[in-house]
Amino acid sequence: MDRDHSVGSKSFTAVAINTAAKAGEWIKMKQGTHASLSQKSSSHDLVTEVDKGSETMIRNLIKTYFPDHAFLGEEGVAPGAEASARAIREMQDEEYLWIVDPIDGTTNFVHGFPYFVVSIALARRGEVIVGVIYDPNRDEMFVAEKGKGAYLRGKPIRVSSEERLGDALIATGFPSDTVSTLPVNLRGLQAVAPIARNVRSAGSAALHLAYVAAGRLSGFWELGLNSWDLAAGALLVQEAGGRVTDTRGEPYSLSVRHVLATNGLVHGELLQTLADAEATGF
């Protein structure tokens, strides 16, 4: 494969797909080792091993093809909102920046709940141009290229056609910050649940975004997320005809932490519902 800077977007996407598939298979294989674990510390060690191992694999594969590209992975950033905001600030102007979540849904992984994915995005000077999300348990590879649409198993996907929140299946997540962010999101849940057709939480923001893109969900919101949770999924939703903003309705960028992604048709209603409940996180 050509390794200079004239490499086309096809090659970027091919590397992202290949890398996500390899990491996903490795993670799935590691899940089998969990059965013998009994103590909490062991499950924490497993998560650390699998997160770090997956990220190292992804980084090495990408660097093999694109040694000059910048790389931002969850494992390379200290925990907490400040550190993750600073990391994306420092790196978002790079010509090419790979943004990776080596396993989104680690809590699910530990419990054997089969909803976890590998998320790989490539941004060019702050704009996401490739997004890949791979679910190894269902062998589903969601792929988007800027301006070229979104695909699942090679077939084009589109967002759902529900026009009212009352007909819409909506997803959210429960932030780990139990002091400030979680109570706000619970206010949002209390407001949305009686209006929407129903609400789901699969425990993986990246998977929720992929499902909005595929029309399986009509909308998703969550507070306190990081760039690696969102970058690939945001492009998928946009390329599938949907809309991604922050919870105030401002356009998506790599620095967004409080996200709202929908089929576009229920976006306004969901924005208003969260605003009325003072549940935007702002």
* pLDDT tens-digit series, residues 150-203: 999 999 999 999 999 999 999 999 988 889 999 999 999 999 999 999 999 999
Predicted local distance difference test score (pLDDT) of residue 148:
97
74 carries an active-site annotation: yes
Question: Residue 266 in contact with residue 220, Cβ under 8 Å?
Answer: no
Confirm whether 246 is a catalytic residue: no
Active site residue 75: no
Exposed/middle/buried for residue 198 (C-beta within 10 Å: 0-12, 13-18, 19+): exposed
Choosing from 51, 104, 222, 269, the catalytic residue is: 104
Catalytic choice (106, 181, 245, 280): 106
Share of the chain above pLDDT 90, in %: 81
101 is catalytic: yes
Catalytic residue among 55, 74, 135, 162: 74
Task: Supply the pLDDT for residue 49.
Answer: 86
The catalytically annotated residue of 229, 239, 246, 269 is: 229
Whether 132 contacts 141, CB under 8 Å: yes
pLDDT above 90: residue 48: no
Above 90 in pLDDT, residue 2?
no
Among 58, 99, 103, 129, the active-site one is: 103
> 6-14 contacts: CB < 8 A, separation 24 or more?
7/65, 7/66, 9/129, 9/130, 9/145, 9/146, 9/148, 11/65, 12/66, 12/122, 12/129, 12/130, 13/130, 13/132, 13/143, 13/145
d(CA 280, CA 85) in angstroms, rounded, equals 18
The pLDDT value recorded for residue 42 is 60
Residue 101, beta-bridge partner list: 119
Annotation says 45 is catalytic: no
Which pLDDT band, with edges at 50, 70 and 90, does 1 fall under?
very low
What is this structure's pTM? 0.94
Has 103 been annotated as catalytic? yes
The whole-number average pLDDT for the span 63-68 is: 96
Q: How many CB atoms are closer than 10 A to CB 1? A: 9
Q: Which of 51, 75, 101, 269 is catalytic?
A: 101
The pair of structure tokens assigned to 167 is 């007909």
pLDDT at 41: 54
Nearest to 68 by CA among 37, 94, 42, 99: 94
Q: What is the mean pLDDT of the chain?
A: 92
Model pLDDT for residues 125-153, shown as the tens digit of each residue? 999 999 999 999 999 999 999 999 999 99
Per-residue pLDDT for 40 more than 60?
A: no
Nearest Cα residue to 14 out of 122, 89, 116, 115: 122
Q: Do 209 and 151 form a contact (C-beta atoms < 8 A)?
A: no
Give the whole-angstrom CA distance, residue 53 versus residue 106.
Answer: 13
